[in-house]
Structures are given as C-alpha cells and as structure tokens.
Amino acid sequence: MLLALFQALTRRKPRPAWTFQLSVVARFMRLDWDRTADWDLPRVRDEVANRPYPRKWVKRVARRDATLGGVPVCVYSPPERRGDGVLLYFHGGSFIYGSSKTSHADFLARLALETGVEIVGVEYRLAPEHPFPAPLEDALAAWRALLARGTKPEDVVVGGDSSGGNLAVCAAIALRDGREPTPRALLLMSPWADLEMPGASFRENADYDFGTREVLVRHAAAYAGGAPLDDPRLSPTHAKLEGLPETFVSWGTCEIPRDDIVAFARALRAAGVSVTEHEAPDMPHNAAFFADYHPAALAAFEATARFLGSRGSR
C-alpha cells in the first residue's frame, strides 16, 4: 500500500493548492476506495470499522453509549456545555458503513468542544442488510425519543455529512409532512442530496476526490432496496422543500457531488428556506473533516462550528 501511495503521488499531480499532507491523505483514501471497490459491502463495513482512527479530540470530552427509541447512540458532552442545545447527528458512509463511535468520533468530539453543544451520534441501521426505509425509521425514532425525554425541538439542530446529510433532510421532511415538531436548524456537510447523481462534477472532479460514481451507484442501489432513486424520500432534491428549518450547507469545489449539492442549495432557496452556504475552495468531499491538513478545510470546520454554536448553544 505504501508503494502504491508513493507511485500515485509521483504519477498524478495533486491540486496546486493542496498541502502535501492533504495530498497524501486524499490519495491514500482513493487508493483504499479503489482497492475495496468490488468487495462485499459487509466486508467493506468491517474493514472501515476496525481501522485505527485519531483520538486527539475524543480524549477531551465525555463520551457515553445510550439508546433513543431503541436506537443506539453515542453521546459527546463537552466539559463546558453552553446552554441546552443538542446536535442530533447522522454519520456518512453511503448508508453502508461508518459510525459515530469510530470513523466520525474525533470530528464529533472536536465539534462538541468548539461549540459547547452536546452531540448525539445516531447508530442507525445500515444497508444492504437494512435498506430504506430502515435508516429513516431509526432517525425518526431517535428524534421522537429525544423530545419525549424533555428536549425542546427549538434546542435541537439535526445534521449529518454525505449520506447522513441526506438522512437529516429526509427526516425533517417526514416530520414536516407528519405535522410533527421540526428541529431548530439543519446542518449539512456535503449532503448526498440526489442518489441519481446527475452532476457533471462526478466526471470533472474524478481525479481529485476520494470516491467514484461507479461505486456510489452500487451503494445507492443497496440503500434503495428496489425503490426508484428519484423517490423524494431517497433523494431530497426531488422533494417539496417549503417549510424546512433554516439550513447550513457546505461543499468542496473539487468533490464529485459538488454540482448536485449546489443544485440542492439552490432548490432550498427557491423554496423559501433560509440557507447559509459555505464553499470550500479546492477541497474534496467532507472538507471540514480535513481541518488538520489544509487552511481551507479548517475554514470549513470553523464555518460549521459557527453555525452550530449560534443555533445550538442558546
């Protein structure tokens, strides 16, 4: 793997604005993505779950396991909490893998420390064993249980990255349509808003991002479980968006779903939703997760934290 990484870095010119650290990390992730592209999806999940992840920020917060509505969650509590705000968070991973306990732990801990907001990471069921609507059902169960224990909806921000961003929006739409209480705001980082993936950026940024459309097509099908990909419950770009809470949307200019994310943000605005946008120049998918490796990624993290802190630490 190290030899392959060295060859990739020397054979293919990285983005001019990238630091060496970001180049190494992004190339390693792409090589790993390609290496596991034809694996059985549960095998990919096991591989991702058992990797060593940074624990720089996790060490500085209190972390505990709990359940909400029968759904496992991992709670990150900062040492100095500011107000009663809560971020109900859905991790990314193409609905196939990832966890608030492993792949997303350090990011969530850092966000809790920066904002003073308690973060509840939801361990929703994953495809292909549990396709749609199972993850959405878990998201709604966690939300309803959070409110049932006394948390006010106006104190909750619901968010996620990539497929988790998709889930956050779809949950908010379901709550609105069911005339249930909705969250204070939505926090979306590189949301996978359209599972049909029509954007030209999937082709234009194919050499820079760490994922590929070819593999994502397989992931989308596994999650959909036979439902059409343009179903608005799967692809919120196609949903009625009026009446959703104010929303933060971020993306990197060299990530493959960039065009679909921009189109989704535009659709939110057209529906009258208050939208705060952050575009991370030259950054790949989930820019804020690379905050230690590039100033533009750090700026994306800080923009995310500002939005959450101003809505979640009242």
Q: In this structure, which amino acid lies at residue 281?
A: P
**Catalytic residues, which ones?**
162, 255, 285
- Residue 66's φ and ψ, nearest 5 degrees, are -155, -175
Residue bearing tokens 């200019």: 253
Q: Give the sheet arrangement for strand 185-189, strand by strand.
A: 62-68, 71-77, 118-122, 86-90, 156-161, 185-189, 246-252, 275-280
Give residues with Cβ within 8 angstroms of 179, minimum separation 6. none
Nearest partner of 100 among 81, 126, 82, judged by Cα: 126
Query: For the chain, what is the radius of gyration of the CA atoms?
Result: 18
Cα separation, 250 vs 300, whole angstroms:
7
* Burial (Cβ within 10 Å: 0-12, 13-18, ≥19) of residue 178: exposed
Q: Which structure tokens are listed for 278?
A: 């952050």
